[in-house]
Structure 1
Amino acid sequence: MIGKVVRGNDIGGLLRYLFGPGRANEHTNPHVVAAWDDDVVADHTPRSDPRLKRLTALLEQPLAALDSRPSPAVWHCPLRTAPGDRQLTDAEWADVAAEVLHQTGLAPRGDTAGCRWIAVRHADDHIHLAVTLARQDGRRARTSHDYAKLGAACRTVELRYGLKVTPARDRTAPKRPTRAEIEKAARQGLPETTRQLLRREVRRAALSSRSLQGFIRHLEVAQVQVRLRHSTINFGEVTGYSVALIDPTGDCPGPWFGGGKLAPQLTLPRLQHLWSANTAGASSDMRNRCTLGSPVARTLRSTAIVLHQLEDGDFHGAALAMAIDTVRKL
């Protein structure tokens, strides 16, 4: 299950969107599946403005009780099942919403003074949580580490309902394409977004290189333009890079992406660490292979003898034959 945290200040605008038709009329049968008060679920399917205004006022009451309104004041969390997962019922989605709010600490189970919230469903595969960030006991809500807590809650409900397990939120997963990027790729008839294509090419170049110069050469061959970022403190030091696809119709590159925007492992410091480790490993392996008496050591000694003979003008057949045989061994 995938969850995302969005912060804002306009609970009324958020509700109008959730209960509206959507950007492309994709919202079907918007309704409340869970809320801080069970009566809200039974009483609100607020298609009409009066009901929507009343629900907005109920959610904002704890905010009005504070000495000053917090900013952000609204915590919005879309929750979506993965492709291939079964369709959850309204009751199951209600439990998912309660578990997320319990683990994030915004509305713990059994805490009647928690934040006010609703869970709105307007599609088969996802719901939206809308929470106002003020507790009903007059205290401000705490949202520290909410992203990690949300990830833990998603793991809990995945196991509870047999859903596809998604990667842990350790900030090592690749950056997902935005909705705008996906829609642009669809309009252009492309099977993947620019971000996904660049991520693949950068990974290939990184694994095929041993230095920044080689990395850039591999990308240029793949029709990827590279722009280096230099330190403002240490003259000449390269601190990062960004990449863009070269437009085949002209010289104007597409959108630029920094390595960290493609994947956390593709930042320049991570790549330099990889290249250093590979170089050190290769040097160590060569040193081990070149120990006294090893085939490599014997070949190197033979090569040195041949080069010495050639420098002395000893060009007879035996020396040439030995040279050819040595080259073949290398």
Structure 2
Amino acid sequence: MEKAKISAKQLFVIVVLFEMGTAILVGFPTQLKQDAWIPIPLGMAGGVLLCLVYHRLFTFYPDLPLTGYVQKIVGKWVGKVIAFLYIIYYTYLASRILRDFGELLTSTIYTQTPLFFLMTILILTSSYAIHKGFEVIARVGELFFAVIYFMAIVGFFLIIFSGLIHMENLKPMFENDWKAIFKATLTQTLTFPFGEMVVFTMLLPYVNKPEKTRYVGIFGMVLSGVNFTIAAIVNIATLGTDLFMRSPYPLLSTVSKIQLANFIERLDVLFMLYLMIAGFIKVTVFYYAAVIGAADVFKLKSYRQICFPFAILILLTAVIIAPNYTEHIQEGLKVVPIYLHWPFQILIPCTLLLIAVIRNRFTAKKKSSTEEYSQ
């Protein structure tokens, strides 16, 4: 792994920006109408439990990423296969997110610009940041964090002062039964965005104060979950259920409605600026995890020698991932959570933790017995 160290504060910033990256763009369970905000805190609660699983694995092997300690838990060859699958998983998610933001730009601002060209610019920017090292990525996130939060707070109050919020749009609450709400939680909000914290199993060894990683990760997840919930409530209250369900980017539609004193309007460009910063962080984190995972599994001297090949792989995958935006979104909401997110975010980590706990207890018991025998 790279000889880099980041602070707990920088980890917190990356967690928040990462979690909110594409979630407030396409992560709302709009099929629940006015109840769409309810699965978000429920998914966040489940995400906190998953974060504890990831952190517990980290405490067993504090100097190794997931691709390293999985080989110690289940054996070298089986571990290498699982590690390789995680590399593919991270690469695929980087491609999906790259496509998300490419589609956003081509459908809103750069309507005459080829999708391939925009995604090429985005992935080259991420590739340059990764080549410079993880500390640089952390500093970039830290630099933009205050700017993003300032814009978010200003935008929130402008929506209020514009008189756009109509709380009656949130009624009747719990119109959907709990079965539909829990289904949306398990298939959407739990895995996207909160379960995506599994990527930080590759990054926790970089934190200079490992004892703070658990609290920082949970606090970052909770803060992003609160922001995500507020965004959902504001969208429903502003747009109404019909427009909220039909809009491909609900928060962008909400921000574009801001008009104050016939002077302050057309603020959707600020929202686009936020999305590009958060999207850059999210693509870069997945991209970086895939690169250092491959360098670890294949024992390369430096991860930098495979940065550009992975950039090409991610770009090409983003192009061929779906023929159009509608199919891309359907695949992301219907197929990916069940067949990719659940195994890689929940089933495999929980199984690894169970094996690690059993092995460590057995090793400790055996060591204790050996010491008693020697005495």
TM-score of the aligned structures, taking structure 1 as reference length? 0.26
More helix by share: 2
Q: TM-score, normalised by structure 2?
A: 0.24
The structure with more radius of gyration: 1
Q: Which has the higher strand share?
A: 1
